[in-house]
Structures are given as structure tokens and as C-alpha cells.
Amino acid sequence: MSKTKILKKINCICGGKLKKNIDFGKVPVINDFKKKKTKKYPTVVSQCSKCLLIQLKYSAKDAVVYPRNYSYLSGDSSEKLEDYKDLISKITKKFKIKDPSIIDIGGNDGSLMSIAKKKGYKTTNVEPTNVSKISRNKGINTIKKEFNLKLAKKLNNRKKFNFVVSTNFFAHTNNLNNIIKGVNNILDEKGILIVEVQYLYNVLNENGFDSFHQDHKYYYSLNSIKNILKVFNLSIFDVEFLKKQKEIVRVYVDKNIKSESIRLKRILKKENDKNVFLKIKRLNYFRKNHILKLKKFISNLSLQNKTVSAISASPRGCVLLNSCNFTKSDIKIVGEVSGSFKINKLVPGTNIPIKDEKILISQQPDYILILAWHLKNRLIKILIKNGYKGKFIVPLPNLKIL
Ligand SMILES: [Zn+2]
């Protein structure tokens, strides 16, 4: 591994020190879909001694995690689209701004902005990768650049924005400090910043060790996100959990200190970030035991000449397959939605091929491992409807055979 591709963090962006570490093992970059086996990176989790934010100690550079040919499309996920619709309809009703303007930072293929545009918003999407082309084709004002303070100052020549949205970057960048400064710069004095992040306590409650990887640099509680924003003179005033992607929390942020909503106060009080490091340690013990259990289960199946394939080459799936060191002799193929760019490539870090999910129906493996286990109900329903007759393995929160 080239050393220049990895950053070692000593301090948190709040200035606090990162002290204790928990080693979650080596995992590849989860979006690195190639025809050959890809590299793995250390996943070491640490906590800031000051703001208590959980974060990665060693971090692959953004250019490695998000190559220009990065092809994840928000529009591919029906759950995401539903939550986007919900967001736009909520802010339209709640804030009642005349001729509102909105900017999505790292807005991917423009799925969110195109919903906002239909509701009469003036829309801008800042997206550095090639998917920006799709956003532009939807008629969205799209800037194919990395968002930072410098770009913010350029954008600022025009009117400031009523809404700044980040459904992506808050957990995912090495450049958070600079980005939040940029957000502060383009946000109207009365404007609202909306941030969506995976909620750490939900991850812990679901034994979600497969959420720890290079794509997630930060793991937020509401207290830690509040502490980080405070460094930049921003404050949270409300919170809600998403309807479809239940593990994600949406926070509403303001430049002027407003009173905190009752539901926000309630969650802030319930959290205990001083104790959370211990909980992550426990999750890591669970991870080690669970990997052994899964490996034993799969190798027993192969002793009985049973075939096992999997569905959905999702980020979680990539972490799980790598944690178990599974190869194509354990898991024959991973099925993906027809037309996905991942088809005919390998699951990052492994030699397991990704194929059109129709093959799962024609090959009828004895077992299908549900890698996107948080979507298990929908996936199982579709597979049965399409004619799959075998059994399902749900790997988490606990191993289940259906
Ligand atoms: Zn900190």
C-alpha cells in the first residue's frame, strides 16, 4: 500500500486529541469496483477526547475513496428517493420561504435537486465526479467541482442560499473543516443547513460492524454533531429520523441560536457519549465472534455440497465478505440489479464476481446471503416473486436462516 494514500489523524477538527483505538481489521475502499482484486486499508476507530466524536484514525484520501469514475447513483435507490421527497415537502411546509434557493453539496446525480426543482426551488448541485453529467441533463445548475471554502466564495458573488443540504458529505470527507467553513459562507443569515448522517447509536443497536469502513470517516451522535457544529458557530435546533432509511438521522441547523425542539432535547439527554467507546469495543468483540460463526456456517454448507450466492454488492456487503475473508469458493456470485455498473466486476477486496441478479433465479443456489440485510424484507419478497425457491441467510443483527 502506498503511504501517500493514507492520512494519519492525531487531532479532531475541534482541536481535541484522538487517543484510544479500536481495530476493526482491514477493509477495501467499498466503491472500488474493478475486474481485479483491490487493496485493503486499516479500519481503526478512535474517539476525540474533547468533543467525543467517533472517527477513523487512518483515513484513505478522498481521491482514493471517490475516484472520478465513481458511479453510485442516488436515483438507483427507491428508499432514498422517498426520503428526498419527504425532505422537500417538509421544508416547503415548515419554512414557507418565497422563491427559495437550495444547494446540494455532493448532490450526486441530482435526484434531490430535481425533486426540489419541481416544487419551484432555484437549485444548484455541486458534484465533483462524472455523475454530475446526469444531474446537468436533468436541467439542474450543476457545478462539477469539489466543494470547499474557495468555491463557496466564488458562489457567494450571487445571492446566498436559503437552504444548504448535505445528505452525503458530513460523514464521508477528510475535508470537513474547510467544507463547513464554505457552508457558513454561502448560507443566508436566516438560512437552514440540513444534514443527514447515519446515527451511531442505531448502528450499535443493530450490531452494525459492517458500517465501519473508509467511506465513513465520522460516526455521529447528536451530541457530537452538536459539538462539532458549535466550533463553527452553527447550532442544531431540530431532528428527525428518516422514514425509509431508518438508520439515518436528519438535523436542522441554523446560524442563530434557536431553542432546541423537545424531541432534540430528549435524544441529547438520552445519549451517553462518554460510554460509547466501550460500546464500540463490545461491538468489535461481537464482530470477531460473529465472523467465526458465519464462516463455520458457510463451510458446513459447502461440506454438504450446498451452493451459496449472495445479493446486493452494497457497502455493508463488501465489509462483511471481506471481514469473513470469503472467496468465490464460499460465495459463488453476488447478484446486482440489472444494468448496474458493478456487473462483471469483483466485490472490492475479493475474487467474488458480481452478476445480474437474474442469474440467481436461473441458477437457484441452495442459499442466498442477504448482504443488504437492512433491506431484507424487500429483497426477499422480490426474489420469491421472481421464482427463487431456496433459503435465505440474514447475517445481521443476528444470524438467521429463513
Ligand atoms: Zn473533537
Q: Which residues pair with 393 in a beta bridge?
A: 369, 401
Ligand 1: centre distance to CA 208 (Å) = 23
Contact (CB, 8 A) for 53 and 12:
yes
Ligand 1 centre and the CA of 66: distance in Å? 25
How many angstroms separate the alpha carbon of residue 359 from the centre of ligand 1?
47
Q: Do the domain assignments include residue 286?
A: no
Cα(257)–Cα(255) distance, rounded to whole angstroms?
A: 7
Residues 172 and 224 in one domain: yes
363: exposed, middle or buried (C-beta count within 10 Å: 0-12, 13-18, 19+)?
middle
In terms of domains, do 252 and 353 share one?
A: no
Please indicate, yes or no, whether residues 244 and 118 belong to a single structural domain of this protein.
yes
Ligand 1 geometric centre to CA of 279 (Å): 19
CA gap 28, 213 in Å, rounded: 8
CA–centroid distance, 224 to ligand 1, in Å, is: 8
> For residue 144, is pLDDT > 70?
yes
Q: How confident is the model at residue 288 (pLDDT cuts 50, 70, 90)?
A: very high
Measured in Å, residue 18 CA sits from the centre of ligand 1 at: 8
pTM, 2 dp: 0.91
The torsion angles phi and psi of 245, rounded to 5 degrees, stand at: -90, 80
**Does residue 38 fall inside a structural domain?**
yes
Read off the C-alpha cell for 338: 440489472
Centre of ligand 1 to C-alpha 326, Å, is: 36
Are 200 and 240 found together in one domain? yes
pLDDT, mean over the chain: 93
In this structure, is residue 283 part of a structural domain? no
Instruction: Supply the pLDDT for residue 67.
Output: 67
- Domain check: are 20 and 82 in the same one? no
What DSSP element (H or E) covers 356? strand 354-356
Distance 54 CA to ligand 1 centre (A): 8
Do residue 250 and residue 317 come from a single domain?
Answer: no
Q: Examine the domain organization and report whether 109 and 239 are in the same domain.
A: yes
Cα gap 130→181, rounded to integer Å: 25
Taking the centre of ligand 1 as the mean of its atom positions, its distance from the CA of residue 221, in whole angstroms, is 12
Residue type, 54: I
Does 4 have pLDDT greater than 70? no
- Ligand 1 mean position to 104 CA, how many Å? 25
* Residue entry with cell 464554505: 182
* Spatial distance between the Cα atoms of 103 and 186, rounded to a whole number of angstroms: 9
State in Å: Cα 225 to ligand 1 middle.
Answer: 10
Distance 227 CA to ligand 1 centre (A): 8
What CATH number is associated with residue 182? 3.40.50.150
180 pLDDT tier (thresholds 50, 70, 90): very high
In the reported structure, the alpha carbon of residue 57 is separated from the centroid of ligand 1 by a whole-number distance in angstroms of 12
Cα 53 to averaged position of ligand 1 atoms, centre (Å)? 6
Determine the Cα–Cα distance for residues 111 and 115; give it in Å rounded to an integer: 7
- Minimal CA–CA distance to 309: which of 357, 372, 341? 357
How far away, in angstroms, is 231 Cα from ligand 1 center?
9
Are residues 29 and 105 part of one domain? no
Smallest CA-to-CA distance from 25 within 326, 322, 298, 347 is with 322
**pLDDT at position 30:** 84
Q: For residue 353, tell me if it sits in a domain.
A: yes
pLDDT at 330: 97
DSSP of 196-225:
EEEBHHHHHHTT-GGG-STT--EEB-HHHH
Cα 50 to ligand 1 centroid, rounded to whole Å? 5
Please identify, among 223, 251, 271, the residue that sits at the C-terminal boundary of a domain.
271
Residue 255 Cα to ligand 1 midpoint, Å, equals 20
Q: Is the pLDDT of residue 258 over 80?
A: no
Which residue intervals of 7-130 are DSSP H helices?
Answer: 62-65, 78-95, 111-118
Is residue 1 very low, low, confident or very high in pLDDT (cuts 50, 70, 90)? very low
Per-residue pLDDT of 351-376, as tens digits, reads 999 999 999 999 999 999 999 999 99
What is the 63 CA–ligand 1 centroid distance (Å)?
Answer: 24
pLDDT (tens digit per residue) in 151-178: 999 987 768 999 999 987 888 888 899 9
Indicate whether 238 belongs to any domain.
Answer: yes
Once rounded to an integer, what is the mean pLDDT over residues 248-275? Answer: 94
Say whether both 359 and 309 belong to one domain. yes
**Same domain, residue pair 255 and 373:** no
Question: Can you give the pLDDT at residue 2?
Answer: 45
CA 254 to chain centre: 24
In a domain, 24, yes or no: yes
351 in a domain, yes or no?
A: yes
The residue with cell 436566516 is 190
Report whether pLDDT(20) > 50. Answer: yes
- In this structure, what CATH number is given to the domain that contains residue 387? 3.40.50.720
In a domain, 222, yes or no: yes
44: CA distance to ligand 1 center in Å?
Answer: 16
| Cα of 233 from ligand 1 centre, angstroms | 15
Do residues 90 and 53 share a domain?
Answer: no
200 lies in which domain range? 74-271
pLDDT at 184 over 90: yes
Model confidence over 73-118: pLDDT tens digits? 777 788 899 999 999 999 999 999 999 999 999 999 999 999 999 9
What's the gap in Å between 150 CA and the centre of ligand 1?
Answer: 24
